[in-house]
Amino acid sequence: MIDFPLSTSMLISPRSLQLSAWLGHIPFASWLIEQLEPRLIVELGTHRGASFLALCQAVQEQGKTSRVFAVDTWEGDEHAGYYGDEIYNELREVQQRNYAGISEMMRMRFNEALPYFDEGSIDLLHIDGLHTYEAVREDFETWLPKLSDRGVVLFHDTCVRERGFGVWQYWSEISQQYPAFEFTHTHGLGVLLVGKARHPALSRFAEQWVAGGFAPINRLFDVLGSNIKRTEEIERVYVGLSDARSEVNRLGAIAHDSRLRCEQLEQELHQAQERIRHAEQEVQQHRLQAEHNALTPDDLRRIAGEERARVVEELQAMVVPQLEGNTRKLDQLLRPWWRR
Ligand SMILES: C[S@@+](CC[C@H](N)C(=O)[O-])C[C@H]1O[C@@H](n2cnc3c(N)ncnc32)[C@H](O)[C@@H]1O
């Protein structure tokens, strides 16, 4: 049984949840702020701000006077991936709205931030930048002089052994040189007590870690951290569901419009078919009429004969009286001659 101060600080409920591999360590971070009461906290590697915002919230909720500094290029690296300005802008907006009075975001490389901190001034340093052996070693060694006599250093990802991660290797070396303990959940978090003035509870954790009795504490913070991870997962699923619902509504509206258009087109098609049917009827009527009016060769012969007879009759009516008149005139002229 490890004797350590249980408190509600480890039941912190994060105000906002970012997608991050760090969420499971928030209960311990909050409890650590309460115990350590750090005057100056510096984080190397912030990305979306899961750890940074949790540290700020813990400081604020517990009414501590700590100042929290986040250093990052907010450009990404080969392990976190590279990203655009929107990540920095979103985090900056949250930080300014909630924690402007207690925190600063320093957009620069870690070594460029060094001159802004006094030697021996940092009580809590969180190293979560690039995760190669060389990078973690450089981050620790360059920042070590800045740590106070109460200084505690957190190393994230001490359990990851893939993609060139080398924190585990550096942790296995450095944890031999200072009192230390390590959480194995949430990719691992190494806690190194570099300052000589150590907090008693942290010293007991370090002793138990060496003695093999740290598992219950690891388990306790793992379970508390799992709740936060699940909450984030549920929120993410809800966002996915809400997006899916919006998509269903959008597609439903398109389907409705398409159905209306189909009905309209069906009506237009029906009207066109009616017009075609009507036109066909008219054509049929004209064809019947034409057939009805059509003349056979016999009809033509008969009509031609009748026409010829009519014309002959007219001619006769016109010509015969004239001929008869002329004949009479000729008779009168010739009559004297006939008498001789
Ligand atoms: C693993 S992420 C930090 C995760 C964060 N602590 C969280 O809670 O999710 C690593 C970050 O370190 C930053 N980084 C890596 N090397 C850096 C360097 N030398 N200087 C400044 N930023 C660096 C990257 O831009 C990246 O955003």
- pLDDT exceeds 70 at position 255: yes
Range 8-228: architecture per CATH = 3-Layer(aba) Sandwich (3.40)
- pLDDT (tens digit per residue) in 163-192: 999 999 999 999 999 999 999 999 999 999
Report the atom number in ligand 1 closest to the C-alpha of 75.
25
Count other Cβ atoms within 10 Å, centred on residue 220: 17
Tell me the two tokens of residue 208.
Answer: 């138990």
Higher pLDDT, 131 or 18: 131
The residue written with tokens 């912190």 in the block is 12
Write down the pLDDT at residue 65: 97
Say if ligand 1 is within 6 A of residue 109 CB: yes
The answer to whether 142 touches 114, Cβ cutoff 8 Å, is yes
- Cα–Cα dist 333/211, whole Å: 174
Say if ligand 1 is within 6 A of residue 76 CB: yes
The answer to whether 82 touches 125, Cβ cutoff 8 Å, is no
Report the atom number in ligand 1 closest to the C-alpha of 72.
22
Write down the pLDDT at residue 339: 65
Report the atom number in ligand 1 closest to the C-alpha of 157.
1
Write down the pLDDT at residue 113: 98
Write down the pLDDT at residue 75: 98
Q: Which of 18, 44, 77 to mutate to test the pocket of ligand 1 (most atoms within 8 A of CB)?
A: 77
Query: For residue 139, which of 115, 155, 121, 158 has the smallest C-alpha distance?
Result: 155
- pLDDT (tens digit per residue) in 303-340: 878 888 887 788 788 877 888 888 888 788 888 777 65
- Cα–Cα dist 107/113, whole Å: 9
Say if ligand 1 is within 6 A of residue 198 CB: no
Domain boundaries, the chain: 8-228
- pLDDT exceeds 70 at position 1: no
